[in-house]
Structure 1
């Protein structure tokens, strides 16, 4: 049986959530039925070493997105994929234009992970994205909230949108925990007295680490704790200054991007996400999979869906430092039975995002897209 060739396009296989999702799909897609090809711009991404060896990996000879349209179109012509799959609005647009200019029969499927919009300029931009999305065969939204936003702001019809949650590679997480280790320079954080809170994400405005630092400072008055921040970003120096102002700099550790964050999650006593908005909250599902209790803000729309609005982890209002501090104190003071019950529920929830299950949903969409095309062609031939 001829395998379906799927070309995955993203700017780079870097440390972001979109790249991690693509990595999980590419590595777990059924090789007996699908042939994956990965295309990026000319960057070296930290996840490249995690790609399975049988994945054909092509880098375009450009680092500029606008310059990628024609080179990508040439690659599409040469590789003749059945489907071109992309994620992130700007890159989706490039993939759609490149597919049109390739003059092939390849079908576009785009993934939308962001919960964008609000101001006039952004809403106008989303309408433009929506015009391109209407040219695709299918739009995949990573949560019900993201789907509602695509319908509302991009003006894409609901029947063109399929909701598929992010895949979490549980086997990879387990392997990283079993085979991984905390680097020696960070080991003392976990071995010295006091409980450890960990968070992970880019150090940018949307992640709202300011609120987390303030909540940590308040909780520290009642509990002996340390805070580990995994990730890099433009606000790092500003956040360090904030920690100094709050007089907690000696208990806050900026450890940067880590290829194996899961060992940090697993060794910590608590994971806290302080985001203002999250399309899904992938890192929450990963934290649950490591057996660590979680606290999250009610960042729309994804966190509530991941935690089922508080069933699988505690939730507080966005920017509410008092409520976050109170929950930190509560969870760190849980008795052993209550803590184990919370961990067990979290592990059960993480199983529902297992990459092997989620990727099958992607495979179904890929198959349906091609089946619909064949059916239309058959009807056209009959009518002719």
Structure 2
């Protein structure tokens, strides 16, 4: 809004020494000023005590100045998803190296792997040459691509399941000498460790979770620990890990934070210079995850879910402790014991696998455990539910399931963690948040039940609009592509770094 002249009525009245008792303006004075301004201005009421006017001249000058404003993208402080980039083919094609611990294998992929696949296949489709350095799959099925510009370079993982740094570096150097050298190197988390990354200047690392965020998770886990469990040393160990990260993170040239909160932490706590930290929120395929009543009805019919149920709750992901399933299980147990009406009128559908799958089955007939679902089945699952719940205790990054549900037009409920409330559920109009306690979760579930289908539907519409604005694969890919173009040509052709 720079360049606009903002004049509040209170300022104008002070200038004219128009005062009334008890700090209230007389109706005659207000009418006089409104009448005067109406001939030459646009008046905007912000509140009763503060109204702003913009003259046509100021609006015109501002528009001209805005058209001339140039943003240095490397210093842009907000999520790049807010910006609009051209969908036209890029004027420059890149040779990109990706280091990722694992490449997705069917429905068992984690968020980091799904992010890597969504992003880099899309970049290959836009014409860029992609070389993926990753571990050999455990099965005999070797990933293949129909794209002629997408290449896999497999290597045997270390005993811990990580990339063998010496081997992948050798593979990288060999490919770097073949044809043209790489324009940009991208590593998902520490796929390429800092001991190697410090030798690459045109490099970006995407952080899907950092140790500082996890301290919140450790506090939650300690509070939820039963008296029978031994006290963990996680908190002390985590602080040490944060210090280690603060020391080695500068060895990566550019950092991509996948949430607004993580971006703030990288700048403020990890002390990475602002021009080396870029926020690009995770995105999912909006062509797959979208509202479709028909596939939702078919999914419910196939799994025996009657339309008469007043509330269908969905859970999805890894059914493990740190994803909050002990919390959810206990909350549902208590609700079903204390409220028979809820038990009779509601259904909980659980997609995923893990130790808590069997425990959910033990809750009764109105809990349906589906097992892991492929992407197309997940889309049907979201369309079959009224509300998606993510009880995660991991205070890291942006969970893809929340974004998938939002793009499918569903309201979301999640733990009140910094990345979630800072980037995803930013208000009650799109869903519900709760503190990580059984009572708080029960209260949120009851609230959604009382709100009913109409309110939930309206919240889902708001959630979808936010999802379309920020969390589509198209928005994410466009932002990464522009960042890669900017980094690769920062010293030669700066127009890619200007917006």
Name the counterpart of 1:232.
353
TM-score (norm 1): 0.81
Q: Tell whether the 8 Å contact from 1:72 to 1:98 is kept in structure 2 after alignment.
A: no
Name the counterpart of 2:131.
37
Q: Tell whether the 8 Å contact from 2:289 to 2:405 is kept in structure 1 after alignment.
A: no
Asked if 1:287 is matched to 2:382, the reply is: no
CA distances 1:339-375 after superposition (whole Å, capped 9, x unpaired): 3322211110110211112211111211121222447
Shift, 1:55, TM fit: 5.1
In 2: Cα distance, 1:270 partner to 1:180 partner: 13
Asked if 1:204 is matched to 2:317, the reply is: no
Name the counterpart of 2:467.
350
Q: What's the secondary structure of 2:252's corresponding residue?
A: coil
CA distances 1:229-268 after superposition (whole Å, capped 9, x unpaired): 22233x33xx634774xxx244333333211222111111
Q: Mind listing any 5+ residue stretches in structure 2 that lack a counterpart?
A: 1-90, 177-181, 216-234, 495-499
Compared with structure 1, are the counterparts of its residues 253 and 163 closer, same or farther at alpha carbon in structure 2 (3 Å cutoff)? same
Name the counterpart of 2:368.
253
Q: What's the secondary structure of 1:60's corresponding residue?
A: strand
CA root-mean-square deviation: 3.3
Aligned partner (choices 164, 167, 185) of residue 68 of structure 1? 164
Q: Tell whether the 8 Å contact from 2:124 to 2:150 is kept in structure 1 after alignment.
A: no
Aligned partner (choices 255, 279, 299) of residue 139 of structure 1? 255
Q: How does 1:1-384 map to 2 (within 5 A)?
A: 3-14=93-104, 15-29=109-123, 31-32=125-126, 34-43=128-137, 53-54=147-148, 56-64=150-158, 65=161, 68-80=164-176, 81-88=182-189, 90-93=190-193, 96-98=194-196, 107-117=202-212, 118=215, 119-151=235-267, 153-174=269-290, 187-191=302-306, 194=309, 195-220=311-336, 221=339, 222-223=341-342, 224-233=345-354, 235-236=355-356, 240-241=358-359, 244=362, 248-260=363-375, 261-276=378-393, 277-319=395-437, 321-335=438-452, 337-352=454-469, 353-374=471-492
Compared with structure 1, are the counterparts of its residues 174 and 335 closer, same or farther at alpha carbon in structure 2 (3 Å cutoff)? closer
Name the counterpart of 1:379.
none
In 1: Cα distance, 2:118 partner to 2:198 partner: 27
In 2: Cα distance, 1:3 partner to 1:333 partner: 53
Shift, 1:328, TM fit: 2.3
Q: Mind listing any 5+ residue stretches in structure 1 that lack a counterpart?
A: 377-384
Q: Tell whether the 8 Å contact from 1:197 to 1:269 is kept in structure 2 after alignment.
A: yes
